[in-house]
């Protein structure tokens, strides 16, 4: 049934009138702030004119720039939170900083599948490059927060964290996660345990990209569904009435005596190549595409001379590489003659009534295209040089792909550019309360109607599929009509709008700026942080978003963009520095004792280490790292990413201020070290159970507790008072041990109770690649509680050789030497784990041997190709204790860059030593 305009009120409702008045007041306040040079100097302030920023903004909760209204929003939220906690009977946590008494807030680290919910209509409503499904984020928010809490996402992208925060009040959505909601709003998990409460959370969403924050705002803001449908269809029909002639074709052909008009859905365009041997031009579609099988031939014979040709010939084939054909045209937008890669139309898909047909373009189809290209477009459209550079604009630029494409409009056929220009002009005429959602809807044609859209008929539904995360232009591209792309999209978005009708705009605030400069008003006001940060050089967001932002008139200021990008002169060190600045801000805004979840896909160890180092240097403590086992659908703890190419979930917490204060008073002392261990054990999960089997909690093992204690001292610039052997001995004296893990006294009772209910404890996988992991493997193997107990060398060697995957650079000692330096032999010649007193003596002897080796590295010159990593680690530890930071830097710079970047321990010493070496006069050599 068609909705008639007269069914809608002619006058705005009182609520809408009040909202319009409020918006007008805030817009004037924002207009005044935009005149302030200091406001515009905020890190990451978008590139755009005042009027364009004002036109896109919907203050006070959404501004297409930093949000000057955030302090008053947070003040209101804090008051509402306190009132809600009192109503729910939750304790007052306003002074929950660990200075005295038991803390009110306590959660264990948590991990859930971040791919859950990718088929949901909300998730699929926009084709942004990356999104974490809101249903996955909901599990984290429900676990870590209470109703009314403030959630923060500093790399918000499309705003799924905000959607998740709002849907925590929706009983149906919560129950779709497998939870049960009681009448009193308590949420129970699959085992019937209470895990959370039903209720909306507040969200602060930040992103550097104006395009991303605009999408995030729309995802979190409901509009009138009926009015939206009416306006969207009106615009679509008006554009169709005005520009439909450009998408007409004759069926079956223009010269057929019984021809009838058809409506073009899409036209396929093909590259034209030139034979390097005879100069013959050939259409890629004709020579390389097998239409029946739907395949592309890697090689083909030249139709002119018969030479074997290919786009990218392999050495074995003997084929010649074809050249691209070029053409010279008059660029009506730039007012000058330009050269561009030649493409020609080869296939038209069209409909007559409800029946679909395909044809080769005929004479009138070609004449129509020429007529359009010789006409001026009567509307505004963006003509910006790509990334404001033109040639070689960024890391997504490819010489063989983007030759001749220097400006944004070069990515479009003239016909599709005309239609988009007409559409966006008509969007400006829409009512203010609908205009942004209509922009959100029609902007999805920006990429789909560009040359980025490959012709891929094997994909489900539409044939226009771009290569995600790139600006790649294929040899077969598809020029689609607006109705083909947007018609079905409008229907799907109506369903999404119905899902978010209960959303309250006052519960989510969205701001476009850098995460390196979060407003001071947020300090300590955030109850939980969820971030999916940019991953090194994986995606060039500012380049990919340039398309949308060109049509929105506001661009990303990519100076603080955390990315590895050659054109921006940003390598891994620059990426790590920017990520560290972001995490420092997250640390500052997070309340003490609260949690941060970091999710990303790990494909490079060096980037993983950069992320981890940035998290630790910001002040966070990592309590758990897990990877999703997609085959089993379960999460596994990991202690090394050497063999991991999967989604990682890092759980980190901000220590309570009471502990931080005590630590500063005891810094560098043994009391401070043990105080750290106690508070760290308090944060760790007591039991991790998978399918009736208990998992060893990696963070509770002695070696990882020692690593965390050392890292905590070094990141704060203090010397470490305990050696490894002394630390291990102290652990056994101070804390109960079970299955190779250490607990606080009140935790071990719970572990023992659960331990009695299962048949076994599963040990974690351990990758034996260097001396440190060899020692860990031997300790596990020789310990009766975790391995086979005391064993002879003959027993151990074959097992060891099966487990060993030695790193190329590692000068690994013989197994017999590792045993001699770290373990003892009994009267039966069996090696065993020594008691703590003997272990300390062995450790001292081993350290002296390692330091002698390190001294050779310190005195040498040039790059080290093969070396003993444990010697370097021991030398760095000794030099740090002696405050000889320059020695650490000197030896670190002799190591291969890849080794330094992929070893978190060495990188931690180097980064911290480098910072201190640059700020102090040179010292004499102490070693």
How confident is residue 617, by pLDDT bands cut at 50, 70 and 90? very high
Q: Which residue has the higher pLDDT, 311 or 771?
A: 311
Q: What is the pLDDT of residue 30?
A: 98
d(CA 395, CA 539): 9
Tokens representing 920 are: 């102090």
Identify whether the C-beta of residue 626 lies closer than 8 Å to the C-beta of residue 635. Answer: yes
Widest pairwise Cα distance in the chain: 105
How confident is residue 643, by pLDDT bands cut at 50, 70 and 90? very low
Tokens representing 120 are: 């949901």
Instruction: Give tens-digit pLDDT for 35-88.
Output: 999 999 999 999 999 999 999 999 999 999 999 999 999 999 999 999 999 999
**How many angstroms from the chain centroid is the CA of residue 525?**
24
Tokens representing 874 are: 């021991």
All domains in the chain, ordered by first residue: 14-222+500-601 (3.40.50.150), 227-495 (no CATH), 655-760 (no CATH)
Identify whether the C-beta of residue 864 lies closer than 8 Å to the C-beta of residue 897. Answer: no
Listed in sequence order, the residues at least 6 apart from 899 whose beta carbon sits closer than 8 Å to its beta carbon are 809, 869, 906
Q: What is the pLDDT of residue 103?
A: 78
Q: Which residues pair with 295 in a beta bridge?
A: 290
Q: What is the pLDDT of residue 11?
A: 52
Instruction: Give tens-digit pLDDT for 690-723.
Output: 777 788 888 998 888 998 999 898 888 888 888 8
The secondary structure element, H or E, covering residue 75 is helix 70-88
Q: Which residue has the higher pLDDT, 631 or 411?
A: 411
How confident is residue 628, by pLDDT bands cut at 50, 70 and 90? low
DSSP string over 898-911: HHHHH-HHHHHHHH
Instruction: Give tens-digit pLDDT for 304-341.
Output: 999 999 999 988 889 999 999 999 999 999 999 999 99
Q: Is the pLDDT of residue 562 over 70?
A: yes
Instruction: Give tens-digit pLDDT for 820-860.
Output: 888 888 888 899 988 876 777 778 778 888 898 899 889 88
Q: What is the pLDDT of residue 919?
A: 58
In the block, which residue shows the tokens 């040990």? 763
Q: What is the pLDDT of residue 10?
A: 45
Tokens representing 450 are: 């560009």
What's the CA angle centered on 638, arms 626 and 644, to 5 degrees?
90
Q: Is the pLDDT of residue 99 over 70?
A: no
How many Cβ atoms sit within 10 Å of the Cβ of residue 242?
15
Q: Find the range with the poorest average confidence among 78-92, 362-376, 580-594, 856-870.
A: 856-870
Identify whether the C-beta of residue 609 lies closer than 8 Å to the C-beta of residue 911. Answer: no
**φ, ψ for residue 811 (rounded to 5)?**
-85, 85
Q: Where are the alpha helices (DSSP H) in 189-253?
A: 210-219, 225-243
Identify whether the C-beta of residue 527 lies closer than 8 Å to the C-beta of residue 140. Answer: no
Q: Is the pLDDT of residue 884 over 60?
A: yes
Q: Is the pLDDT of residue 270 over 70?
A: yes
Q: Could you give the percent of the chain with pLDDT greater than 90?
A: 60
DSSP string over 675-722: HHHHHHHHHS-S-EEETTEEEP-GGGBHHHHHHHHHHHHHHTT-----
Q: Which residues pair with 283 in a beta bridge?
A: 272
Q: Find the range with the poorest average confidence among 54-58, 312-316, 346-350, 475-479.
A: 312-316
Q: What is the pLDDT of residue 662?
A: 86
> What's the distance, Cα to Cα, between the start and end of the chain in Å?
85
Q: What is the pLDDT of residue 600?
A: 80
Identify whether the C-beta of residue 876 lies closer than 8 Å to the C-beta of residue 891. Answer: yes
d(CA 779, CA 775): 6
Identify whether the C-beta of residue 572 lies closer than 8 Å to the C-beta of residue 607. Answer: yes
DSSP tag of 176: T
Q: Which residues pair with 355 in a beta bridge?
A: 352
d(CA 488, CA 651): 40
DSSP string over 332-365: TTTTEEEEEE-EEEEEEEEEETTEEEEE---HHH
Average pLDDT over residues 287-315: 91
d(CA 475, CA 269): 8
Q: Which residue has the higher pLDDT, 809 or 650?
A: 650
Q: Could you give the percent of the chain with pLDDT greater than 70?
A: 92
Polymer length in residues for the chain:
927
Listed in sequence order, the residues at least 6 apart from 239 whose beta carbon sits closer than 8 Å to its beta carbon are 419, 422, 423, 426, 482
d(CA 487, CA 81): 42
Q: Is the pLDDT of residue 669 over 50?
A: yes
Tokens representing 77 are: 């939220």
Q: Is the pLDDT of residue 342 over 80?
A: yes
How many Cβ atoms sit within 10 Å of the Cβ of residue 744?
16
Average pLDDT over residues 909-921: 76
Check the CA dihedral 858-900-916-568 and report its sign: positive
DSSP string over 780-823: HHH-TTTS--SB-HHHHHHHHHHHB---TTB-PPPHHHHHHHH-
Q: What is the pLDDT of residue 283?
A: 97
On the question of a cis peptide bond just before residue 252, with omega within 30 degrees of 0, the verdict is yes
Average pLDDT over residues 880-900: 89
d(CA 18, CA 510): 21
d(CA 269, CA 288): 14
- Own/partner pairs, 748-751, CB within 8 angstroms, 24+ separation: 750/686, 750/687, 751/686, 751/687
Tokens representing 149 are: 């809490």
Q: Find the range with the poorest average confidence among 355-369, 529-543, 579-593.
A: 529-543
Q: What is the pLDDT of residue 602?
A: 60
Q: Is the pLDDT of residue 120 over 90?
A: no
Q: What is the pLDDT of residue 127?
A: 82
d(CA 372, CA 389): 28
In the block, which residue shows the tokens 């305990």? 722
**How many angstroms from the chain centroid is the CA of residue 480?**
31
Average pLDDT over residues 296-308: 95
What's the CA angle centered on 466, arms 464 and 467, to 5 degrees?
145
Average pLDDT over residues 727-735: 91
d(CA 530, CA 676): 25
d(CA 220, CA 509): 9
Identify whether the C-beta of residue 154 lies closer than 8 Å to the C-beta of residue 597. Answer: no
Q: Which residue has the higher pLDDT, 214 or 691?
A: 214
Q: Which residue has the higher pLDDT, 632 or 268?
A: 268
d(CA 801, CA 687): 33
Average pLDDT over residues 462-469: 83
What's the CA angle centered on 184, arms 196 and 499, to 5 degrees?
70
Average pLDDT of the residues of the chain: 89
Q: Is the pLDDT of residue 2 over 50?
A: no
Closest to 164 in 3D by CA, of 174, 154, 155: 174
Average pLDDT over residues 173-188: 95
d(CA 690, CA 699): 17
């Amino acid at each position: 049934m068609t909705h008639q305009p007269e069914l809608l009120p002619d006058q705005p409702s009182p609520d809408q009138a009040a909202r319009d008045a409020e918006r007008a007041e805030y817009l004037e306040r924002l207009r005044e702030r935009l005149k302030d040079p200091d406001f515009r100097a905020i890190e990451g302030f978008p590139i755009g004119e005042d009027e364009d920023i004002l036109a896109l903004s919907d203050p006070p909760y959404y501004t297409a720039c930093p949000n000057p209204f955030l302090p008053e929003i947070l003040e209101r939220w804090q008051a509402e939170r306190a009132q809600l906690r009192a109503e729910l009977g939750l304790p007052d946590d306003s002074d929950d900083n660990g200075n005295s008494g038991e803390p009110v807030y306590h959660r264990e680290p948590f991990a859930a599948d971040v791919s859950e919910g990718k088929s949901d209509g909300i998730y699929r409503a926009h084709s942004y490059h990356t999104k974490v499904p809101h249903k996955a984020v909901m599990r984290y928010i429900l676990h870590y927060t209470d109703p009314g809490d403030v959630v923060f996402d500093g790399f918000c992208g499309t705003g799924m964290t905000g959607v998740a925060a709002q849907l925590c009040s929706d009983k149906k959505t919560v129950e779709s996660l497998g939870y049960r909601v009681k009448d009193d709003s308590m949420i129970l998990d699959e085992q019937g345990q209470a895990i959370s409460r039903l209720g909306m959370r507040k969200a602060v969403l930040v992103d550097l990209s104006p395009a991303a924050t605009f999408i995030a705002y729309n995802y979190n803001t409901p509009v009138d569904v009926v009015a939206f449908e009416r306006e969207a269809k009106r615009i679509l029909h008006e554009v169709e009435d005005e520009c439909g002639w450009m998408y007409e074709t004759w069926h079956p052909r223009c010269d057929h005596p019984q021809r009838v008009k058809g409506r073009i859905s899409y036209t396929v365009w093909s590259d034209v190549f030139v034979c390097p041997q005879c100069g013959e031009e050939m259409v890629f579609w004709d020579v390389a595409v097998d239409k029946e099988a739907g395949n592309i031939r890697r090689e083909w014979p030249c139709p002119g001379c018969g030479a074997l040709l290919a786009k990218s010939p392999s050495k074995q084939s003997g084929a010649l590489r074809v050249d691209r054909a070029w053409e010279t045209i008059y660029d009506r937008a730039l007012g000058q003659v330009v050269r561009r890669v030649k493409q020609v139309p080869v296939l038209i898909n069209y409909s007559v009534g409800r029946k679909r047909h395909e044809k080769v373009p005929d004479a009138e189809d070609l004449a129509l295209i020429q007529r359009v290209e010789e006409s001026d477009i009567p509307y505004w459209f963006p003509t910006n040089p790509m990334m404001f550079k033109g040639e070689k604009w960024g890391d997504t630029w490819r010489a063989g792909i983007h030759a001749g494409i220097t400006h944004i409009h070069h990515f479009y056929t003239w016909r599709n550019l005309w239609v988009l220009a007409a559409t966006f002009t008509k969007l400006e005429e829409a009512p203010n309360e609908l205009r942004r959602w209509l922009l959100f809807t029609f902007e999805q044609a920006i990429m789909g109607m560009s040359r980025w859209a490959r012709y891929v008929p094997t994909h489900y539904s539409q044939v226009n599929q771009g290569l995600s995360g790139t600006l790649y232009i294929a040899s077969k591209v598809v020029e689609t009509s607006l109705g083909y792309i947007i018609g079905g999209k409008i229907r799907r978005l109506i369903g999404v709008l119905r899902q978010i009708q209960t959303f309250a705009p006052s519960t989510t605030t969205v701001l476009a700026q850098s995460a390196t400069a979060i407003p001071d008003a947020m300090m300590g006001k955030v109850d939980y942080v969820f971030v999916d940060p940019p991953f090194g050089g994986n995606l060039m967001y500012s380049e990919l978003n340039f398309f949308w932002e060109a049509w929105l008139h506001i661009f990303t200021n990519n100076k603080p963009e955390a990315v590895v990008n050659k054109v921006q002169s940003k390598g891994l060190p620059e990426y790590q520095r920017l990520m560290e600045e972001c995490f420092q801000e997250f640390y500052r805004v997070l309340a003490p004792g609260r949690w941060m979840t970091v999710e990303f896909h790990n494909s490079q160890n060096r980037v993983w280490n950069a992320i981890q180092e940035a998290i630790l240097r910001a002040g966070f403590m990592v309590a758990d790292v897990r990877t999703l086992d997609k085959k089993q659908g379960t999460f596994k703890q990991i202690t090394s990413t050497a063999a991991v190419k999967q989604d990682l979930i890092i759980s980190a917490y901000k220590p309570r201020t009471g502990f931080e204060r005590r630590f500063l008073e005891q810094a560098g002392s043994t009391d401070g070290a043990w105080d750290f261990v106690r508070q760290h054990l308090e944060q760790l999960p007591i039991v991790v159970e998978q399918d009736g089997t208990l998992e060893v909690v990696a963070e509770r093992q002695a070696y990882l507790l020692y690593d965390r204690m050392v890292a905590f001292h070094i990141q704060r610039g203090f010397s470490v008072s305990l050696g490894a052997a002394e630390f291990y001995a102290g652990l056994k004296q101070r804390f109960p041990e079970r299955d190779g893990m250490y607990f606080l006294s009140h935790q071990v009772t719970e572990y023992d109770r659960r331990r009695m209910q299962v048949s076994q404890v599963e040990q974690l996988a351990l990758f034996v690649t260097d001396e440190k992991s060899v020692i860990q493997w031997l300790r596990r193997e020789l310990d009766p509680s975790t391995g086979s107990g005391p064993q002879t060398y003959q027993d151990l060697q074959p097992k060891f050789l099966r487990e060993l995957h030695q790193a190329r650079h590692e000068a690994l000692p013989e197994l017999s030497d590792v045993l001699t330096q770290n373990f003892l032999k009994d009267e039966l010649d069996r090696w065993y784990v020594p008691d703590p007193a003997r272990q300390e003596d062995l450790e001292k002897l081993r350290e002296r041997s390692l330091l002698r080796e390190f001294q050779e590295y310190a005195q040498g010159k040039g790059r080290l190709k093969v070396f003993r990593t444990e010697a370097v680690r021991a030398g760095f530890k000794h030099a740090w204790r002696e405050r000889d930071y320059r020695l650490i830097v000197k030896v670190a710079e002799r190591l291969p860059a890849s080794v330094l970047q992929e070893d978190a321990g060495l990188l931690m010493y180097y980064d911290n030593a480098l910072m201190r070496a640059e700020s102090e006069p040179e010292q004499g050599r102490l070693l």
